[in-house]
Amino acid sequence: MSPARAAVLAGWGGALPEQVVTNHEIAARLDTTDEWIRTRTGIRERRKAGPGESTVELAVRAARDALRGGSADAVVLATSTPDQVCPASAPQVAARLGLGTVPAFDVNAVCSGFLYALATAAGFISSGIAQRVLVIGADVFTSLIDPEDRTTVPIFGDGAGALLLRAGDPGESGALGPIDLHSEGEQAELLWVKAGGSRCPVPADPRERYLVMQGTSVFRQACARMAESSRAVLEQAGWMVGDVDRFVGHQANIRILQATAKQLGLPADAVVANIDRVGNTSAASIPLALADAVAEGTVVPGHKVLLSAFGAGLTWGATLLTWPSLA
């Protein structure tokens, strides 16, 4: 039998739109305040895509950083806001990056999308389909937000993050560990956009093309499911909770991150958060948080890192790795 092939981290990158939107700017036009937003979400500001800053554009920028670790022979793009409904955006990203005719496709699991994309890439590598896979999470999620909705406008921002994975040994630093993924479609309406798909291509009410969120229910589900999935991968990997140096959860709400860490028994200083500066960037959330943490020295080689996410669908999952040393 041939030796097992693991997906090993070989590069990372992130990209944000230029426009910064502060809480004060939102409070000036909606019935809210900077204090209300900060205390309930942990967000001070977020980025909003301007003209020309589409999902593809942001994905390309993040991917170029990640590709400093080498080229790729497959591209998986996690997004729920492709540039067009058809075709997928990943082939355009691959073309812009000069990757030729490599396989490239989109994955849509919304805020859990990056973990689903990582699992897909790991499968490509373990099966021998690809040697190096570029995994990108990119969303212009503000395009799905009702500009008059005081509950969702403060939360969401736009951005992209990317990781480059290569074939390697399961025991080496940077190898992805167990991956745990789940969904529960019966609760899709807790967090959804009603119109725009085949069931309702043209909405009767223009607001049906915007995200609707039942915040309290989503909060409870997110904490429970992220903790549950995190425990599953820790057990599969043989890690104790005390082995975890950093917890990088989906950046939806600082209270969700803190509550999930508490359920797991992780100390507060293990939580990696950049939500205060970027908001909830959906599929871009985890790779952006990782890129920022590495740049700031919060995540360093040798750290045992736990990743977990929860999003619309409903979808959720977790994985882990030991952060590698890369030049």
The residues annotated as belonging to the active site are: 111, 250, 280
The region, left, alpha or beta by phi > 0 then psi within -120 to 50, assigned to residue 46 is beta
Q: Which residues contact 172 (CB under 8 A, 6 or more apart)?
A: 6, 8, 324
For 134, the token pair is 């570029």
Closest residue by Cα to residue 315 from 226, 245, 237: 226
For 72, the token pair is 């790729």
List, in sequence order, every beta strand (DSSP E) within 16-148.
19-22, 45-48, 74-78, 104-107, 132-140
Strand-pair partners of 29: none
DSSP β-ladder status, 304-311 and 246-249? parallel
8 A C-beta contact, residue 166 and residue 11: no
**What does DSSP assign to residue 189?**
G
Angle at 119 between CA 115 and CA 122, to 5 degrees: 135
Q: Which residues contact 99 (CB under 8 A, 6 or more apart)?
A: 71, 72, 73, 75, 134
